[in-house]
Amino acid sequence: MARNTSTAARPDVYQAVTDSIVAALEAGNVAPWHKPWKAGHAAGSVSRPLRHNGQPYQGVNVLVLWIAAEAAGYTAPLWLTFKQAQELGGNVRKGEKGTTVVYASTFTKDETRADGTTAERKIPFLKAYTVFNAEQCDNLPPRFYEQVPPPAGDVQPHEAAAAFAAATGADIRAGGARAYYSPSADYIQVPHAATFESAEAHACTTLHELAHWTGHASRLARDLAGKFERHAYAAEELVAELAAAFLAADLGLEASPHPEHVNYLAAWLEVLKSDKRAIFTAASAASRAAAYLHSLQPGGAATPAEAESVSDA
């Protein structure tokens, strides 16, 4: 009997992406998005994954491509499609396997109401496509391969991160023995920098708490209880972890996991395994948190609009 291709089951993009991230989490007790990306590539030694034109990826695609780069040992943060490689005068090497990323869009459907009238409804969906790292390609322009030497000398405090935090206007208090955000009093507490192993660790912890700060009712009004119910607390921690990792990449920091992240690992896995769309929701919320904090910087420079991440599809 001939197969009806119009009704053949399509690959479950949500499940495939979720499974890859669960596998990465289960492979070790560290979050896979906390890689000290000391690649030394001219496009950015510490960077979000970048499209062929230098535009950063957003949402869940950041995680997917970071994990793929770590697994394959790629140092270039640049990714492109087979066609884009050809348009740039290059080619994907024969036998290379691509990485699946996603693009979110909507289509319009007419629906009949109970009273007989019709209304248009926008329905979100995901489209999967394949990209290749620059290191899987030959004959691309030199900028795709250019390396820079690693910096010499001891690590110095990351002044840009401190300036970034200050520009948000958040009430950040130094001292104490633990880092936290108080929603009721709307302030952030972070121990003194001298108590951390490095300036980067202190900065990343501050970014984590700033991500929580964005969820206040007066800002993004982020409420995950409706989506995650009893897992809402773990989901909020995951959003803050992802947002801190995104921001660390934007600021050129080596991403340092929040000191408590290992404690949340089991809870994160439970959330992801129970809901194949959870990582999309968390990554989308994290991108919005990062973009909001960028918008508070001098000049209101925001990160690129989130085009491929979806939370409610």
pLDDT above 90: residue 243: yes
Please report, to the nearest 10 degrees, the dihedral formed by the alpha carbons of residues 13, 14, 19, 21 taken in order. Answer: 110
Ranking 2-11, 42-51, 54-63, 280-289 by mean pLDDT, the lowest is: 2-11
pTM of the full structure: 0.76
pLDDT above 70: residue 274: yes
- pLDDT band per the 50, 70, 90 thresholds, residue 129: very high
pLDDT above 60: residue 167: yes
Highest mean pLDDT of the ranges 58-72, 110-124, 252-266: 58-72
- pLDDT band per the 50, 70, 90 thresholds, residue 254: confident
Give the span between the Cα atoms of 240 and 262, in whole angstroms. 14
- In the prediction, which pLDDT does 312 show? 35
8 A C-beta contact, residue 281 and residue 274: no
- In the prediction, which pLDDT does 127 show? 86
Where is pLDDT greater, at 251 or 307?
251
**Strand order across the beta sheet in which 118-133 lies:** 79-80, 118-133, 99-112
Chain centre to alpha carbon of residue 111: 35
- In the prediction, which pLDDT does 193 show? 83
Tokens found for residue 183: 């929603």
Tokens found for residue 102: 């996603």
- In the prediction, which pLDDT does 10 show? 54
- In the prediction, which pLDDT does 90 show? 97
Residue 37: C-alpha distances to residues 53, 170, 186, 200 (Å) = 20, 28, 33, 13
DSSP 289: H
Give the span between the Cα atoms of 244 and 257, in whole angstroms. 9
Residue-wise pLDDT for 107-121, tens only, equals: 788 777 777 777 788
- pLDDT band per the 50, 70, 90 thresholds, residue 28: low
Q: What is the mean pLDDT of the chain?
A: 82
Number of Cβ within a 10 Å radius of residue 85: 23
8 A C-beta contact, residue 75 and residue 40: yes
pLDDT above 60: residue 81: yes
Give the span between the Cα atoms of 151 and 53, in whole angstroms. 26
Mean pLDDT of the 7-35 span: 73
- In the prediction, which pLDDT does 212 show? 97
Strands 180-182 and 187-190: antiparallel
Ranking 91-105, 153-167, 178-192, 196-210 by mean pLDDT, the lowest is: 153-167
Residue-wise pLDDT for 186-206, tens only, equals: 999 988 888 777 888 889 999
